[in-house]
C-alpha cells in the first residue's frame, strides 16, 4: 500500500468535490512548439527546464523505465494527460513527493505545470502553480505577448493559458436530470461541465469535470473566482437534490445494496464498480454508512481503474482477471 497521496483522500467540500486541478501552459521563446520541434530542440528544452527546477523539490521521473501500465495508471489518477503517454521520447516529467505537482515537458506545449489538490482548493492550488511558474520564468524566456498574454500551441488557451477544473461527484443532479440544465447555464458563464468517464448522457460514477473555458480577457484571479462561485452553487444544488432523493426509500435501499454487492462480489467490472462506489459516496455523505470513510472511497475510485489495478498487482492482467482482482481489492478495503 502506497502512502496516502492527494488522489486517495478527500478534501474540502469532499462530499461533492473530489479534486481540484490548475494547469498552466507555457512555451519558450525562440523554440518551435513541440509538434514542430526536432528531437535536439526538444532535448534542449527538457534540459533547460530541468536546470530551472534544480532548486525546487521536484524530481525527474525516468519515463523510459516505467511500464505502459504504470504510465496509464498515472493518467487514470489524473497526474498526467492521456496525450502525454502516447509516446515518451524527448519528453520529461517532474513531480514532488506527495504527487500534487506534475510538470510535463514537451507535451502539447513546452511546459505544462499541473497542481492537484483533494477537494475544493482552487486558491491554494493556483498559488503553488504560480510559484512554480515564477521559478521557471525567472530563468527561462516565455513566449508572451503583452496584448494577448501567454502564447500556447492551441489558440483556445491563449491569454492566461490556465485551465482550472474541479472533479465533482454529482449523482443527485444526474439522477434528477438537472445536470443537463446546468450544462447550458455554465456555458453562458464561461465554464464547461462534462462527464469525466463514459460516453452519452450518464457519466460513469456520476463524476463530472467543471472547468473554465475562457482564457482571454480575464485574469487568473477572476477566472478562479468565477469558477469557485459557480461551483459553490452547484455544490448547494447537489446537496439539496440528495436530501430530496433520500426521502425516497428506493434511493436509501440502493445505497445499502451497493454496499452489499461491493462487500461480497467476486467479479466487478470497472463500470459497475464505479457506479456502486458512487452510490456509497452518497451514503457516506448522508451519514448512512458511518463505518466507511470518504478517504477509503477516494482511494478505491482511483485504484479500481484498469491500469492502476495492474500497477498495484505489478503485472498486466486480462479484463476478467482484473474483475477478480478489483472485487478482491474492494472487499479488502471495505
Q: Which is nearer to its own copies, 215 or 279 (CB)?
A: 279
Min CB(175)–its own copies separation in Å: 17
What interhelical angle do 220-245 and 122-137 show, nearest 10? 150
SS3 57: coil
Min CB(324)–its own copies separation in Å: 7
Grid coordinates representing 297 are 472511497
Q: Which is nearer to its own copies, 230 or 280 (CB)?
A: 280
Told to check if 321 binds its own copies by CB under 8 A, we report: no
Q: Which is nearer to its own copies, 233 or 264 (CB)?
A: 264
Quote helix, strand, coil % in the chain, to nearest 5.
50, 15, 35
Grid coordinates representing 310 are 495492474
Site residue total, its own copies (CB under 8 A): 18
Q: Which is nearer to its own copies, 1 or 250 (CB)?
A: 250
Which parts of 227-275 are beta strand (E)? none
Active site residues: 23, 108, 112, 154, 156, 163, 194, 199
Q: What mask, x for binding its own copies by CB under 8 A, covers residues 244 to 273?
A: -----xx-xx--xx-xxxxxxxxx------
Contact at 8 Å (CB) between 103 and 113? yes
Grid coordinates representing 240 are 439539496
Q: Which is nearer to its own copies, 43 or 252 (CB)?
A: 252
Min CB(279)–its own copies separation in Å: 11
Find the length of the chain.
334
Grid coordinates representing 163 are 485551465
Smallest CA-to-CA distance from 332 within 256, 257, 266, 258 is with 266
Which parts of the chain are beta strand (E)? 17-26, 59-61, 92-95, 101-105, 111-118, 144-145, 149-150, 162-169, 191-195, 207-212
Phi-psi region of 20 (alpha: psi -120 to 50; beta: other; left: phi over 0): beta
Q: Which of 77, 327, 329, 330 binds its own copies (CB under 8 A)?
A: 327
Min CB(86)–its own copies separation in Å: 35
- List 149's β-bridge partners, or say none: 145
Min CB(291)–its own copies separation in Å: 12
Q: Which of 324, 325, 328, 333 binds its own copies (CB under 8 A)?
A: 324
Q: Which is nearer to its own copies, 24 or 300 (CB)?
A: 300
Min CB(286)–its own copies separation in Å: 13
For the chain, the maximum distance between any two Cα atoms, rounded to a whole number of angstroms, is 64
Grid coordinates representing 77 are 489518477
Binding site for its own copies (CB under 8 A): 249-250, 252-253, 256-257, 259-267, 320, 324, 327
Amino acid at each position: 500500500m502506497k502512502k496516502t497521496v492527494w488522489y486517495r483522500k478527500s478534501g474540502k467540500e469532499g462530499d461533492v468535490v473530489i479534486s481540484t486541478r490548475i494547469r498552466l501552459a507555457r512555451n519558450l521563446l525562440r523554440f518551435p512548439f513541440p509538434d514542430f520541434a526536432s528531437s535536439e530542440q526538444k532535448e534542449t528544452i527538457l534540459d533547460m527546464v530541468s536546470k530551472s527546477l534544480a532548486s525546487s523539490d521536484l524530481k525527474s521521473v525516468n519515463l523510459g523505465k516505467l511500464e505502459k501500465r504504470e504510465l496509464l495508471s498515472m493518467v487514470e489518477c489524473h497526474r498526467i494527460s492521456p496525450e502525454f503517454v502516447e509516446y515518451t521520447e524527448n519528453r520529461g516529467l517532474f513531480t514532488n513527493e506527495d504527487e500534487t505537482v506534475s510538470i510535463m515537458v514537451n507535451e502539447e506545449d513546452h511546459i505544462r505545470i499541473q497542481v492537484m489538490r483533494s477537494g475544493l482548493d482552487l486558491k491554494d492550488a493556483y498559488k503553488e502553480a504560480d510559484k512554480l511558474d515564477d521559478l521557471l520564468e525567472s530563468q527561462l524566456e516565455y513566449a508572451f505577448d503583452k496584448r494577448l498574454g501567454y502564447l500556447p500551441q492551441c489558440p483556445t488557451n491563449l491569454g492566461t493559458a490556465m485551465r482550472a477544473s474541479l472533479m465533482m461527484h454529482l449523482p443527485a443532479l444526474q439522477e434528477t436530470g438537472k445536470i443537463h440544465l446546468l450544462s447550458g447555464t455554465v456555458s453562458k458563464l464561461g465554464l464547461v461541465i462534462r462527464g469525466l468517464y463514459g460516453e452519452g448522457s450518464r457519466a460513469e460514477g456520476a463524476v463530472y469535470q467543471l472547468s473554465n473555458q475562457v482564457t482571454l480577457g480575464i485574469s487568473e484571479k477572476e477566472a478562479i473566482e468565477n469558477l469557485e462561485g459557480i461551483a459553490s452553487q452547484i455544490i448547494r444544488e447537489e446537496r439539496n437534490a440528495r436530501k430530496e432523493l433520500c426521502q425516497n426509500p428506493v434511493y436509501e435501499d440502493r445505497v445499502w445494496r451497493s454496499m452489499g454487492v461491493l462487500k461480497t462480489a467476486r467479479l466487478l467490472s470497472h463500470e459497475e464498480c464505479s457506479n456502486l462506489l458512487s452510490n456509497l459516496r452518497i451514503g457516506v455523505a448522508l451519514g448512512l454508512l458511518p463505518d466507511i470513510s470518504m478517504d477509503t472511497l477516494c482511494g478505491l475510485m482511483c485504484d479500481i481503474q484498469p491500469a492502476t489495478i495492474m500497477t498495484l498487482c505489478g503485472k498486466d492482467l486480462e479484463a476478467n482477471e482484473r474483475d477478480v482482482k478489483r472485487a478482491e481489492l474492494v472487499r479488502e478495503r471495505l
